[in-house]
Amino acid sequence: AKMTVERMFDEYGHFKRFQACLYFAAVFQATSCGIHYLASVFLVETPNFVCSVPGNITDVLYGNITGSSLESVLPVIKPAGGPLVVRTSEGEQWELSRCRSALRINPQDFAYDYYGNKTMKDCSGNFVYDHTEVHNSIVTDWDLVCENEWLAKLCQPTFMLGVLVGALLFGDIADRIGRVKILMITSLCQFALGVAVAFSLNYYFFVVLRFLLAMASSGYLVVVFVYVTEFTGSKVRTWTSMHIHAAFAVGIMVVALMGYLVRVWWIYQIILSICTSPFLLFCWKFPETPFYLMAKGRYQEAQALLDTIARFNGLECRLKAEDLLEPMKSENGKALLEKEEKEERPAQPEKKLSILDLFCSWRMAGRTCTVWAIWFIGSLGYYVFSLGSVNLGGNQYVNLFLAGAVELPSYLVGCFAMDRIGRKKTCAPALLLAGVACMLIIVVPEIDSLAIALSMIGKFAVAIAFGLIYLYTCELYPTVIRTLAVGSGSMMCRVGSIVAPFCVYLVDVWVYLPQLIVGILAFAIGVLTLLLPETLGEPLPTTLEEAESLGSNPRKKNSTNIIHHYIAESK
């Protein structure tokens, strides 16, 4: 039967009081996903540092800068510059660089340049850090520099690996045991693990706990999209799904703010983790979604839920759960045929569907590959711009705050464009614009503010495509494999986010290499997007056949839509 559960929204409101309460609660918790995803920007921040030396330091030289202690000179040194020259109270002279020190043998006078013999020594874990910007990060606490630098760099990729595992695991479980249980479990874990991370005894505890935290966060994010999509009517679905992303962006802004205010990593981590703790007080009252209850044949519960929604929205309870099953009578016996087909294969919802069902025909396979590519570049671009914003020069806290803030208008623009112009005609130009912005960053001269502006335009464009792809995926696939489609898309997106930190570290090779990579990919995938079907104004497909026929026969499809619409109105 077409449009089954959708009728509920025509009767009881697409986004009235009941849905609004659920929605804002669910979205409030989604900010904590944005928080944890980007928290590592300041957790693993590496300040200026040099090797320390035995003995008390009395004088320091750096070029033409002089000082009496390392702390006074450290803030001004450039990582690429020469070494620091120090004199100790014993009269020894040392040249200190980041990872090694050299003792000058029999120097004549105390000068910056010295051409005599030196004895090189490795640092072996004795470093002095500049604590003006960063009081404590895990880098300064556990000396993740020099030969241990790669451990600090692995922090974000391992988190993103956890995100991938979580998206796979929880997306699948949500189809089996229900959306609500997963929302409760994951949000509780987010809170508990987030606080636990702050008390990590060493780096390995830290990485493992953050891996688990990533699983919980991504599980919440995947399931909350399905949850709000199944609770809001088609008229507002665009807005509701887009603004979960807006909550994520608010999370990024919270990270920038907290990073600025709190410079000790474990206090910062605790504060970020308890930001959304009030959600735990009311999430256990959440109901299961009507789509899920109907799909599993739990009609009594569905009926109870329908009555609750009606009462809460101030309407009389006139819908029966069974009505939502009946196919539309007036469709010239076509419905009866459909019904007979359904009776021949009643086991359809229970049939175990796997990832291969996304490739059940050439048409669906092409669609799946394109959708996965959009997920990948959306995520890669998104994180390259977000994580890389702190490397753009200027104030890193302001840059990260802007990277979050620029997303908010992008979702408004995206929403209007999706509903006016269409999903495809919004997604493709957005990717093309992101590609162009990236190319321009490479061309323009090295002015900080210009690079930041172009980077934000790139982030703006990518965020439009990234925000849209969740809903677009939901509309391109039928109910039976919808969570699987979003889950596997999410997986591609997580692959993109695992690659993103490594991509950001390519700034060491060439300062604009990350942007170049993102630019070329975004442009190519923007062109591919033009081949997808348009789903604006179509009902959510419920069977594989309906999903496959999307965009193939538009005229006929619209006429049945109009019939459905009038039937719904007349009842």
Report the pLDDT value the prediction gives residue 449, as an integer from 0 to 100: 86
Of 122-131, 202-211, 292-301, 480-489, give the range with the top mean pLDDT: 202-211
Q: Which segment of 121-135, 178-192, 232-246, 323-337 scores lowest on mean pLDDT?
A: 323-337
Alpha helices in 86-202 (DSSP H): 138-142, 149-153, 155-177, 179-198
Residue 36 pLDDT exceeds 90: yes
The two structure tokens encoding residue 80: 């690429």
**pLDDT, greater one: 349 or 317:** 317
* 180 CA to centre of own chain: 21
CA-nearest of 441, 431, 493, 490 to 463 is 431
- CA pair distance 256, 253, nearest whole angstrom: 5
Residue 231 pLDDT exceeds 90: no
- As a whole number of Å, the end-to-end CA separation of the chain is 17
- CA pair distance 331, 562, nearest whole angstrom: 12
SS3 308: helix
SS3 295: helix
CB atoms within 10 A of CB 201: 7
Residue type, 269: Q
SS3 103: strand
Domain-by-domain residue ranges, the chain? 1-47+136-324, 50-132, 358-553
User: Would you call 24 exposed, middle or buried from its count of C-beta atoms within 10 A (0-12, 13-18, 19+)?
Assistant: exposed
168 within 8 A of 491, measured Cβ to Cβ: yes
214 within 8 A of 166, measured Cβ to Cβ: yes
Overall size of the chain counted in residues: 571
Run of H or E including 93 = strand 93-96
CA distances from 270 to 34, 418, 491, 515 (A): 15, 38, 28, 33
The two structure tokens encoding residue 527: 């062109």
Beta bridge partners of 103: 94, 119
379 within 8 A of 497, measured Cβ to Cβ: yes
Report the pLDDT value the prediction gives residue 30, as an integer from 0 to 100: 94
- CA pair distance 186, 213, nearest whole angstrom: 9
Beta bridge partners of 62: 65
Residue type, 130: D
Of 201-210, 229-238, 530-539, give the range with the top mean pLDDT: 201-210
User: Would you call 117 exposed, middle or buried from its count of C-beta atoms within 10 A (0-12, 13-18, 19+)?
Assistant: exposed
- CA pair distance 357, 92, nearest whole angstrom: 73
Residue 343 pLDDT exceeds 50: no
User: Would you call 99 exposed, middle or buried from its count of C-beta atoms within 10 A (0-12, 13-18, 19+)?
Assistant: middle
Mean pLDDT of 311-331: 70
Beta bridge partners of 67: 60
Residue 278 pLDDT exceeds 50: yes
Domain 358-553 superfamily per CATH: MFS general substrate transporter like domains (1.20.1250.20)
Report the pLDDT value the prediction gives residue 27, as an integer from 0 to 100: 93
Report the pLDDT value the prediction gives residue 55, as an integer from 0 to 100: 80
203 within 8 A of 138, measured Cβ to Cβ: yes
- CA pair distance 374, 529, nearest whole angstrom: 8
CATH hierarchy code of domain 1-47+136-324: 1.20.1250.20
Residue 565 pLDDT exceeds 70: no
541 within 8 A of 533, measured Cβ to Cβ: no
Run of H or E including 58 = strand 57-62
Mean pLDDT of 543-548: 81
Q: What is the dihedral of CA 322, 323, 328, 330, to 10 degrees?
A: 120
Query: Which backbone phi and psi does 103 adopt, to 5 degrees?
Result: -90, 125
Mean pLDDT of 416-426: 88
169 within 8 A of 215, measured Cβ to Cβ: yes
Report the predicted TM-score, pTM, of the whole model to 2 decimal places.
0.82
Residue type, 284: W
Residue bearing tokens 């919980």:
216
Query: Which backbone phi and psi does 88 adopt, to 5 degrees?
Result: -100, 170
- CA pair distance 376, 489, nearest whole angstrom: 8
Report the pLDDT value the prediction gives residue 328, as an integer from 0 to 100: 45
- CA pair distance 499, 458, nearest whole angstrom: 18
Residue 281 pLDDT exceeds 80: yes
Whether 1-47+136-324 and 358-553 share one fold: the answer is yes
CA-nearest of 332, 387, 371 to 481 is 371
275 within 8 A of 29, measured Cβ to Cβ: no
CA-nearest of 462, 452, 457 to 396 is 452
Please, what is the average pLDDT of the chain? 84
144 within 8 A of 206, measured Cβ to Cβ: no
Longest Cα–Cα distance in the chain = 104
Report the pLDDT value the prediction gives residue 385, as an integer from 0 to 100: 93
Report the pLDDT value the prediction gives residue 410, as an integer from 0 to 100: 92
Which DSSP symbol is given to 264?
Answer: B
CA-nearest of 364, 372, 387 to 487 is 372
The two structure tokens encoding residue 175: 């189809």
Per DSSP, which regions of 438-512 are E strands? none
2 within 8 A of 561, measured Cβ to Cβ: no
